[in-house]
Amino acid sequence: MTEQPIISLRAVTKVYGDGPTAFQALKGIDLDIAQGDFVAVMGPSGSGKSTTMNILGCLDVPSGGTFLFKGRHVETLDRDQRALLRRRYLGFVFQGFNLLSRTTALENVELPLLYRGEDKATRYDMGMAALDKVGLKDWWDHTPAELSGGQQQRVAIARAIVTQPDVLLADEPTGNLDSERSVEIMQLLTDLNRNSGITVLMVTHEPDMAAFARTIVHFKDGLVERIDQGVEG
Ligand SMILES: Nc1ncnc2c1ncn2[C@@H]1O[C@H](COP(=O)(O)OP(=O)(O)OP(=O)(O)O)[C@@H](O)[C@H]1O
Ligand SMILES: [Mg+2]
């Protein structure tokens, strides 16, 4: 018997806008993600990758279809319930890092814990542990302007994993980095996947980065075109 997937999408559609300008970005996505997998999402610009990631990250809702997360029907949850699910189980990393600029690395990483109501000592311990995981413990009091692009992205990853999520969603995490820095981020994601057991879903345009994943999902025109399984080298 196979384990139930941590994520299961069935016939998921997304329509932006309404009336004559309405645009169907997703046309019926079927996708199962196994717990512990490392998945790369590829496909042409506009094929629906970010739209799907935003739905999986509970930042947006599908127009139709079902989204099961750990067996729960997310499409039936209201905004507050989705926010709770996001805070408890999901971490999100964007291409542009999205760090608060006048704030130290540690304070950036502590932010999700603040939202969760953790006390100061717990925030400090968990924040420093997350910074340690991404190799930036000694940089805790630096602001983003004092960090390189690769370091900023590692702070953003620390912020995403500080709550110990089950799933890490990363939308083009290396899109703003040179190839050497990109490989470092991929090694970090691989390490988090293997050693911390985090299920990783990452959008990338680069085959070299997708090669770090175990499964590659190819999007085309708002549909899953093909899934390559067990491709890890
Ligand atoms: N908020 C929005 N309002 C209207 N249309 C949108 C919105 N967000 C995305 N779209 C459209 O939906 C389609 C899919 O967009 P999406 O961002 O998911 O593509 P993508 O695969 O992530 O592309 P890229 O590789 O360029 O990031 C595109 O045609 C886009 O213009
Ligand atoms: Mg995108």
Asked if the model's pLDDT at residue 232 lies above 60, the reply is no
Mean pLDDT over 35-49 rounds to 98
Distance 45 CA to ligand 1 centre (A): 8
Residue nearest to atom 2 of ligand 1 (CA): 16
Residue nearest to atom 12 of ligand 1 (CA): 25
Mean pLDDT over 107-117 rounds to 94
Asked if the model's pLDDT at residue 219 lies above 60, the reply is yes
DSSP codes of every residue in the chain: -PPPPSEEEEEEEEEES-GGG-EEEEEEEEEEE-TT-EEEEE--TTSSHHHHHHHHTTSS--SEEEEEETTEEGGG--HHHHHHHHHHHEEEE-TT----TTS-HHHHHHHHHHHTT--HHHHHHHHHHHHHHTT-GGGTT--GGGS-HHHHHHHHHHHHHTT--SEEEEESTTTTS-HHHHHHHHHHHHHHHHHS--EEEEE-S-HHHHTTSSEEEEEETTEEEEEEES---
Mean pLDDT over 192-202 rounds to 96
Distance 94 CA to ligand 2 centre (A): 10
Q: State the pLDDT at residue 166.
A: 97
Q: State the pLDDT at residue 128.
A: 98
Mean pLDDT over 27-40 rounds to 97
From CA 22, how far away is CA 63, in angstroms rounded?
Answer: 12
Cβ atoms < 10 Å from Cβ of 102: 8
Domains of the chain: 35-58+89-229 (3.40.50.300)
Q: Which residues line ligand 1 (CB under 6 A)?
A: 16-17, 23, 25, 43, 45-51
Atom of ligand 1 nearest to the CA of 47: 21
pLDDT tens column, 58-108: 999 999 999 999 999 999 999 999 999 999 999 999 888 789 999 999 999
Residue nearest to atom 16 of ligand 1 (CA): 48
Asked if the model's pLDDT at residue 113 lies above 50, the reply is yes
Asked if the model's pLDDT at residue 171 lies above 90, the reply is yes
Q: State the pLDDT at residue 226.
A: 97
From CA 225, how far away is CA 219, in angstroms rounded?
Answer: 5
Q: State the pLDDT at residue 2.
A: 61
pTM, rounded to two decimals: 0.94
Asked if the model's pLDDT at residue 233 lies above 70, the reply is no
Do 155 and 99 contact (CB within 8 A), yes or no? yes
**What ligand is nearest to the CA atom of residue 223?**
1
- Which of these ranges, 38-52, 118-132, 169-183, has the smallest mean pLDDT? 169-183
Atom of ligand 1 nearest to the CA of 54: 18
Distance 24 CA to ligand 1 centre (A): 10
Q: State the pLDDT at residue 1.
A: 47
Residue 204 — pLDDT band, cuts 50, 70, 90? very high
Q: State the pLDDT at residue 97.
A: 79
Side by side, the strands of the sheet bearing 23-33 are: 23-33, 7-16, 64-69, 72-73
Side by side, the strands of the sheet bearing 199-203 are: 90-93, 167-171, 199-203, 38-42, 215-220, 223-229
Mean pLDDT over 99-122 rounds to 95
Distance 167 CA to ligand 1 centre (A): 22
For residue 225, the number of C-alpha atoms closer than 13 Å in the C-beta half-sphere is 13
225 in the Ramachandran plot: left (φ > 0), alpha (ψ -120 to 50) or beta?
Answer: alpha
Distance 185 CA to ligand 1 centre (A): 25
From CA 181, how far away is CA 173, in angstroms rounded?
Answer: 11
Mean pLDDT of the chain: 94
